[in-house]
Amino acid sequence: MTGNEEIAEQEQKRRKVIYRHTANTPVYGLGFLGALVYYIQHADTIWIGLLGVLKAIFWPGMLVYELLKFLEM
C-alpha cells in the first residue's frame, strides 16, 4: 500500500455518520398553528392578537413549566 492509500483508509475508518431524528418538529408546528388559530380567534384587539402570536410561540415552555410546578419538581 502506498502512503496515500493508507491515509485514505484511515480517514474512512474515522468518519462517522450521525443521523438526527426530527419527528418532533412537525408536531411542534401543528401545535403552534393550532395555538395561533385559537389565540387569534379569541382576540378582541390587534394587541391581544399580537400577544396571542407570542403565546403561540412559547406555549410549550409554559406548558412544561406549569406541569413541573403542578408535580412539585
* Structural domain boundaries in the chain: 21-71
Whole-number pLDDT of residue 17: 65
Q: What is the pTM of this model?
A: 0.55
Q: For residues 24 and 43, what is the distance between their CA atoms, to the nearest angstrom?
A: 28
Q: What is the pLDDT of residues 23-43, one digit of tens each?
A: 667 777 888 888 999 999 999
Q: What is the pLDDT of residues 5-21, one digit of tens each?
A: 666 666 666 666 666 66
